[in-house]
Amino acid sequence: MAYIQQRKTKDGGMHYRVQVRLKGHAAQTNTFRRKTDAVKWAQQTESAICEGRYINVSEARKHTLAELIARYARDVLPTKPKSQKKQAAQLNWWKEQIGEYSLYNVTPSLIAEYRDRLMQEKTRRGEQRSSSTVIRYLAALSHAFTIAVKEWGWLDSNPVLKVTKPKEPRGRVRFLSGDERARLLAACENSQNPYLNIVPVFAALSFEVVA
């Protein structure tokens, strides 16, 4: 249910304070100069809450990126034992760089700025990070934001999804040498599996035709 209170301002004008209270949900408040705007906001907010679509912007202002990463490290990373250590280090980099920003201020442009810094920054070995490594750093941050959106209700969208990923270099194509092909075919012929020899033989014939 929505409650609208009419109040007089110090300059003699009027404003309308709206409070939306629904069972099982935190109260939401807002203030407007016009009553029509107050009524409209109350109706839209009630509808969004009932449908599970309402995200209070104040939540994004209330929490910092450091808080998001700390909670993710505590609640989510332990469920990913194989990648926990690497992702913790990747998220810690973001925390050190922009952890003090509120989630409301962690915009795609800010993330893109630090993506470029990450690419230019030297590793402990004095090497420049590869595009693949930078993509993994972005992926770790993106998943943390996704959890904050879907499960914690801290913000309504994932800003990382709007950031362009660096292009990965094309992988090197390597062909077997003549000696390697001969040894591969010999190993397949000596195998106890009668079907193992079929694919390499066709592959070798195709290679010879193309060549």
Place of tokens 């407007």: 32
Backbone angles phi, psi at 15, to 5 degrees: -140, 165
pLDDT higher than threshold 50 for residue 209: no
Tally of domains within the chain: 3
State percent of the chain over pLDDT 70.
86
Helices (H), 121-194: 131-147, 178-189
pLDDT recorded at residue 202: 58
Cβ neighbors of 97 (< 8 A, separation 6 or more) are 114, 117
Q: Model confidence over 147-170: pLDDT tens digits?
A: 999 999 898 889 999 999 998 766
Between CA 156 and CA 57 the distance in angstroms is 8
pLDDT recorded at residue 11: 73
Do 66 and 150 reside in the same domain of the chain? Answer: yes
Do 142 and 186 reside in the same domain of the chain? Answer: no
Do 115 and 33 reside in the same domain of the chain? Answer: no
Q: What is the mean pLDDT of residues 18-43?
A: 87
Q: What is the mean pLDDT of residues 85-108?
A: 95
Last residue of a domain, one of 54, 69, 93: 54
The DSSP element (H or E) to which 71 belongs, if any, is helix 65-75
**Domain enclosing residue 121, as ranges:** 61-162
pLDDT higher than threshold 90 for residue 39: yes
- Report the predicted TM-score, pTM, of the whole model to 2 decimal places: 0.62
